[in-house]
Amino acid sequence: MSVSAVTLGNFFTTSDGKTVLGGSGGSGLDTQTLVKGLVTAKSLPITQDQTHITTNNSQITALTTFNTLLTNFQSASDALRNPPGVNNDASNVFAFTTGSVGNGGSAYVSVSPTAGASLQSYNISGITSVASAATQTSGVFSLASVNADATTSAATYTNGDIAFAPGTITFANSATVTVRAGDSLNNIAANFNAASGQTGITASIIQVDGTHFKLSFAATATGTTANFDLSNVSTITGGSAVLAGLNFNSVPAGTVAVAGSNAAFKINGVPISRQTNTISDVVSNVTFTILQNTPDGTTNYPVTIRPDTTTVQNTIVRFTTAYNALQSFAAQQTQQNSDGTFATTAILANNQTFRQTMSEITGQILVPGAGLSGTLKGLSDLGISLTNQAATDTLPAVNNILNVDDTKLTSLLASNFSGVKNVFGFNLSSDNANLAVFKSSKPLNVQDFTVTISNSAFTASYTQNGNAVTIPLTATAIGNDLGFSLTAPDGSALEGLQLIYGSTDNATIHVTTSQGVADKMYNVGVVATTTKTGSVAVAVSGIQTATTTLNSDISRLTTQVNQYQNQLLAKFAALESAVSKVNTLLQSLNANSNAQMSSSGH
């Protein structure tokens, strides 16, 4: 009787589609599938880690977009929040101003106010002089050809033509201009212009006719302090005068120096004289430009400085647009399928930083400002309301976006500008002019408090939840007896507030504050978007750390899986060897059996 052989060997595919270890006979086991299945099961944690990394990368991308949108919103809020501190007018849109000249006065004077200019009117009258620059013109150079490059300084001259003598002109401030033998008018004009920064005089060439030229000199600045007269300039020429041949102060007429003039006018009846037509030192943050003389000295031309309401309104619209962009993004990040599960676009649906930040923004956007009184307290009072945006083919529905009633907002900016400003910004007032706010970085939990300075002790007292509270203020001296910087302690109702007290005298100061919506939104943005320490940056850093850990796990698990696969192959190879030995034994048994049967006659 014959015994079947057991075979294993190299991998090969059988007729029935199995991949087996081949050998002398073949075991019939689908070894490759067995190994692949076992390795795949062992690799499942790697696949899960890779899926987590893909999710992490998507979250980082989404958080980066969120941070950009928050930064845009914070920037728009910053412009509207009446930023606390000194010299902040340039970043406060409510301090922006515009000016106009009435009664037809724009033909005679223009006005350009800058941020922080006082909102008032002035009368301009009696413009009797426009600032001009001193000038002086040489006599006529008679040249042989129409060429300003022809020689004008030589040893001899003919026909009485004027000319420069070679030498060096030295001005009163020791500046010099050198004329060399053979220099042309162009050369000499260029030499004067090269030294104009020191001499205050420029030169240009005037062609009178085909062969006649003049050299015209002018002061580089307007006004009488820049006057000059080249006929009075000393020369160092070894006895010859460089300018003597130019006929200054002689016939023909026109070579005498013409003095420059100052701008002369009246503002509110007060005579003003300045060296230039652009005048910015008469009224703080206002520049007047004198254009021409007025027809008489009595007509008043009113100059009005008013808030730049157009820029303010455009910035408010930018604020609402930035908020709506955040809301649209949030709608995508929380979009749900019809079965209530989150859509694939909802990358940040369960991200705590995203949810908390958006909750703070949407929860406060329409809340009236703290400490405000009067008819204007919140956005809704300005004609800014919430509405819903229907879904489109590509975007989900967006609830609670801001809509601006432009007509109402325009009217309020014209009639109650300060009220609109207070709805958005931070304001602090006190009954002591020496106290001012330097910084406020958090919402204040009280809007009415008293600062006491007594014998080098600094405190603030207020009522909170019906209880009287007194807290110490950290005082830092400013300069030598200039005053103090006062900072409220963390954890107090005034946390984040820093004041400047510009005195060393004892005082009891009553303080009131109000905080509008833009200031609140700005502070939310600071917490979220600050580089490295903001909540978004911290969230991204945490995800990146987790991804680094996952990559390390993948590397470690990959090594383990490779080792496991090698172990499986070794085990199946050992099985193949064992089967081979069994086959050899079976073959031997078969041979013996056959021999016995033959010898017995079977």
pLDDT computed for residue 5 by the predictor: 38
Better-scored residue on pLDDT, 150 or 281: 281
Q: In the predicted model, what is the mean pLDDT of residues 557-583?
A: 79
Q: Judge whether 357 and 513 are in contact, CB under 8 Å.
A: no
The pLDDT of residue 16 is above 60 = no
User: Which pLDDT score is estimated for 8?
Assistant: 40
The confidence band for 1, taking pLDDT boundaries of 50, 70 and 90, is very low
Checking if the pLDDT of 352 tops 60, the result is yes
552 and 11 in contact (C-beta within 8 Å)?
Answer: no
- Check: CB of residue 317 under 8 Å from CB of residue 301: no
Helix, coil or strand: residue 128: strand
Whether residue 4 is predicted with pLDDT greater than 80 in this model: the reply is: no
* Residue type for position 259: A
Environment class of 191 (CB within 10 Å of its CB; exposed 0-12, middle 13-18, buried 19+): middle
Task: For residues 175 and 170, give the distance between their C-alpha atoms in angstroms, rounded to a whole number.
Answer: 6
Specify the length of the chain in residues: 602
Domain residues of the chain, as ranges? 97-131+262-307, 135-246, 309-416, 426-515
In this predicted structure, the answer to whether residue 250 has a pLDDT above a threshold of 80 is no
The continuous run of DSSP H or E covering 269 comes out as none
Confidence check: pLDDT of 157 > 60: no
Whether the predicted pLDDT of 18 surpasses 60: no
How confident is residue 22, by pLDDT bands cut at 50, 70 and 90?
Answer: very low
Query: What is the spatial distance between Cα 467 and Cα 485, in angstroms, rounded to a whole number?
Result: 27
pLDDT of 150 higher than 90: no
Task: Report the distance separating Cα 143 and Cα 161, nearest Å.
Answer: 9
Report the pLDDT value the prediction gives residue 387, as an integer from 0 to 100: 94
What are the residues whose beta carbons fall under 8 Å from the beta carbon of 588, sequence distance 6 or more?
none
Cβ contacts of 502 within 8 Å, gap of 6 or more:
434, 435, 436, 478, 482, 483
Of the pLDDT bands very low, low, confident and very high (cuts 50, 70, 90), residue 145 is low
Transcribe 492-524 into DSSP letters. STTTTEEEEE---S-EEEEEEEEE-HHHHHHHH
What are φ and ψ of residue 230, in 5° steps?
-65, -15
The sheet carrying 167-170 orders its strands as: 176-179, 167-170, 235-236
Phi, psi of 352 (to 5 degrees): -65, -40
Which residue shows structure tokens 């006529």?
140
* Of 397, 330, 406, 405, nearest in space to 363 by CA: 330
User: Coil, strand, or helix at residue 121?
Assistant: strand
Q: Collapse the DSSP code of 26 into the 3-class scheme (helix H, G, I; strand E, B; otherwise coil) and give the result.
A: coil
Name residue 130's amino acid.
V
Quote the CA–CA distance of 181 and 386 in Å, as a whole number.
83
Instruction: Spell out a b/e string for 100-128, using b for 16 or more CB atoms within 10 Å of the CB, else e.
Output: ebeeebeebbbbebbbebeeeebbbbbbb
Task: Check: CB of residue 597 under 8 Å from CB of residue 591.
Answer: no
Q: What's the 3-state SS for 69-109?
A: HHHHHHHHHHHHCCCCCCCCHHHCHHHCEEEEECCCHHHCE
| Integer Cα distance of 283 and 103 in angstroms | 21
| Residue 409 pLDDT | 97
- Cα(191)–Cα(581) distance, integer angstroms: 110
Q: For position 197, what pLDDT does the model report?
A: 95
pLDDT of 377-405, one tens digit each?
999 999 999 999 998 888 899 999 999 99
Name the pLDDT band for 15 (thresholds 50, 70, 90).
Answer: very low
- Mean pLDDT of the residues in the chain: 87
pTM: 0.79
CA gap 77, 515 in Å, rounded: 12
Give the model's confidence band at 7: pLDDT under 50 very low, under 70 low, under 90 confident, else very high.
very low
pLDDT for position 249: 57
- CA atoms of 494 and 486, how far apart (whole Å): 11
Residue 147 pLDDT? 57
pLDDT for residue 235:
60
| Banded model confidence at residue 590, pLDDT cuts 50, 70, 90 | confident
Using the predicted structure, report yes or no on whether residue 26 has a pLDDT greater than 80: no
**Per-residue pLDDT, 119:** 94
HEC sequence for 38-56: HHHHHHHHHHHHHHHHHHH
Instruction: Give 98: exposed, middle or buried? Use CB within 10 Å, 0-12, 13-18, 19+.
Output: middle
178-187, 274-283, 441-450, 528-537: least confident range: 178-187
Classify residue 72 as left (phi > 0), alpha (psi -120 to 50) or beta: alpha
What is the predicted pLDDT for the residue at 168? 86
Q: Do residues 412 and 470 make contact, with C-beta atoms less than 8 angstroms apart?
A: no
Q: How confident is the model at residue 237 (pLDDT cuts 50, 70, 90)?
A: low
DSSP string, 194-234: HTHHHH-EEEEEEE-SSSEEEEEEEESS-SGGG---GGG--
- Residue 199: CA atoms inside 13 Å, Cβ hemisphere, count? 23
Regarding predicted confidence, which is higher, 328 or 182? 328
Q: What is the pLDDT of residues 122-142, one digit of tens each?
A: 999 999 999 999 999 887 777
Give residue 6's pLDDT.
Answer: 35
